[in-house]
Amino acid sequence: MKNGMTYKSTRGEEAESSAKVILNGIASDGGLYTPSFFPSITMEDIKEMAGLDYAQRAAYILSLYLTDYGYDELLEYAKKAYSRFDEEMAAPLTKVDEKTFILELWHGPTLAFKDVALTILPYLLTGARKKQGQEKKTLILVATSGDTGKAALEGFKDVENTEIVVFYPNEGVSAMQKLQMQTAEGSNTHVVAIEGNFDDAQKAVKDIFTDKAMIKKLSEMGYELSSANSINFGRLAPQIVYYISSYVDLLVNEEIEEGEEINFIVPCGNFGNILAAYYAYRMGLPIKHFIVASNKNKVLTDFFDTGEYNINREFYRTISPSMDILVSSNLERLIFEFTGRDCEKVKSLIEDLKESGMYRVDEDELYEKLPQFIGYFSTEEETRTVIENFFNEYNYLLDPHTAVAVSAYNKYMSDTYDNETVSVIASTAHPFKFPEDVYEALTKKREKSGQKAIKKLYAYTGIKPPSAIAELEQKQILHDIVIPKSGIKDTLIKILQKD
């Protein structure tokens, strides 16, 4: 193998190459793979990207990290993946006022930002299988708070030598998200609802990755595990691309000067999306602030305020279900950087979290080392008001997750009066994925049936529902099992035995 990027677990396990890291998904010590260094991009590199289309930009950035793959190979994958988007630039920017932009990340097949990574991950994984000479089938396990599930099912359906099993919280996703998953086609797709919340699903899935007996059993059945969750570095890398690409676009459109710092505002759940922005920053992208937006489950806001990460609190179901998470897995990667890549320190913090549901880092040190991070949260009422006001003011319809980010941005602005800095708000889902709640925010009227809400929302806003949503009505429910959260392992074995 050529001299390439290697990856180390946040909990200390030795280095692996990019193909292996994508295949494994998570390190066997339970830690998350992180690149051994951040490749740099200069202003010259950024200016050169101006002439490239989105797939070329993606291939270029990915080639800096995924050094087991050739540039041409990555370009082929990126072209295939991003041709499925309904916008030429895959992740276009919309200007809402002088200094504020929306980065639309939902132009892919399932209308959520997860598509940006999950349309290309199957190619990266298939490529990795070849490079590693993997003969076993790849078993993709997914825990989803709603959007990852459908995007992964769509990306991996009918991919050779691959089975995908998605676990989602039965009561914790929107009606549209549930329907999208229940109607997933493909001979290798499996969808299971669990009685529990996302954290339960994520914990159960993560446990399987470190359960030696289970791994052995699956191996005897001919499977090797991998993950399509954002713990897989193959999910994060494609997300770095759009932060850099948006900067290129701002420069091309003369919205910023070369080297000018900008803000990113990101609605956070598992912390993968905003971590990708941080990785872009470490590569050299000029970023002033990362605004970590949370809903009522404001563990992250409290963490950035106080240095204490504490999940001993009530869990709320909100109208932004993909952010209803208490244990944000990818924060471990930020903590790894915060501690100066001290694996022992990371391990002891994670141990604290396991034992007492909390850990604490020094508040002053947190501010000193990561001053760019600021957390804000939005209450349900504030989120609804933002959807209504934003539509009235800009004639632009926000989904509830993006509205949480706009709400956080408004709070940031009233705290800082930061009128000088260009701010880019990551828009993570299409509003028609949450028609009942968006319609209610606009009209104060509740329409219980999703399909009726879609029609009424169309009539009210004049915005046409995307075909991926409109078609759902005609689709057949193919997956409807519900199991207790303790039954995940047994169910998994049963599903695979039937195959």
Ligand X SMILES: *Cc1c(COP(=O)(O)O)cnc(C)c1O
Residues in contact with ligand X by CB under 6 A are 112, 114, 147, 230, 267-273, 322-323, 401, 428-429
Q: What H or E segment, with its residue span, contains residue 103? A: strand 100-104
SS3 69: coil
Q: Which is nearer to ligand X, 63 or 322 (CB)?
A: 322
Q: Considering beta carbons, is residue 75 or 319 the nearer one to ligand X?
A: 319
Q: How far apart are CB 151 and ligand X at their closest, in Å?
A: 8
> How many Cα atoms occupy the beta-carbon half-sphere of 235 within 13 Å?
28
* In the complex, minimum distance from the CB of residue 47 to ligand X, in angstroms, rounded to a whole number: 29
Distance CA 311, CA 309 (A): 7
Q: How far apart are CA 197 and CA 313, in angstroms?
A: 14
Question: Any bridge partners for residue 205, and if so which?
Answer: none
**Taking the complex as a whole, how short is the minimal distance between the CB of residue 262 and ligand X, in angstroms?**
19
Helices (H) and strands (E) in the chain, counts: 22, 16
| CB neighbour list of residue 394: distance below 8 Å, 6 or more residues apart | 96, 97
Pick between residue 114 and residue 206 the one whose CB is nearest to ligand X: 114
Task: Please report how close the Cβ of residue 75 comes to ligand X at its closest, in angstroms.
Answer: 25
Token pair of 404 as six digits: 């949480």
Q: How far apart are the C-alpha atoms of 69 and 273, rounded to whole Å?
A: 23
Identity of the amino acid at 486: S
Which residues is 330 bridged to in the sheet?
Answer: none
Closest distance to ligand X from the beta carbon of 239 (Å):
8
Amino acid identity, position 414: S
Q: Nearer to ligand X by C-beta: 131 or 333? A: 333
Smallest gap from Cβ 146 to ligand X, in A, equals: 6
18, 5 contact by CB (below 8 A): yes
Which residue, 238, 230, 234, 281, is CA-closest to 60? 238
Task: Rank residues 353 and 495 by Cβ distance to ligand X and give the closer one.
Answer: 353
Nearer to ligand X, 6 or 328 (CB): 328
Least Å distance, CB 266 to ligand X, is: 7
Give 106 or 223: the residue with its C-beta nearer to ligand X: 106
Write the DSSP assignment of 397-448 as a string of letters: PPPHHHHHHHHHHHHHHHHH--TTSEEEEEE-B-GGGSHHHHHHHHHS----
Whose Cβ is closer to ligand X: residue 71's or residue 316's? 316
Residue with Cβ nearer ligand X (267 or 435): 267
Of 180 and 270, CB closest to ligand X: 270
Least separation in angstroms between CB 445 and ligand X = 24
CB 130, min distance to ligand X, A: 28
Q: Which one, of 85, 89, 154, 91, lies nearest residue 118 by Cα?
A: 154
CB atoms under 10 Å from CB of 479, counted, come to 16
Minimum Å gap between C-beta 269 and ligand X is 3
| CA dihedral (382, 387, 391, 396) positive or negative | positive
What is the smallest separation between the CB atom of 138 and ligand X, expressed in angstroms?
23
Cβ proximity to ligand X: between 31 and 146 the closer is 146
Shortest distance (Å) from residue 496 CB to ligand X:
27
Q: CB of 236: closest distance to ligand X in angstroms?
A: 9
Pairing of strands 6-9, 100-104: unpaired
Report the C-alpha gap between 224 and 324 in whole angstroms. Answer: 30
- Of the two residues 69 and 101, which places its CB atom closer to ligand X in the complex? 101
In the bound state with ligand X, the residue whose beta carbon lies nearer, of 99 and 114, is 114
> Smallest Cα–Cα separation from 118: which of 234, 287, 247?
234
Long-range contacts, stretch 435-439, CB < 8 angstroms, 24+ apart: 435/176, 435/465, 435/469, 436/174, 436/175, 437/174, 437/319, 437/384, 437/400, 438/387, 438/397, 438/398, 438/399, 438/400
Look-up: residue for tokens 């141990």?
A: 351
Question: Helix axis angle, 121-132 relative to 233-252, nearest 10°?
Answer: 130
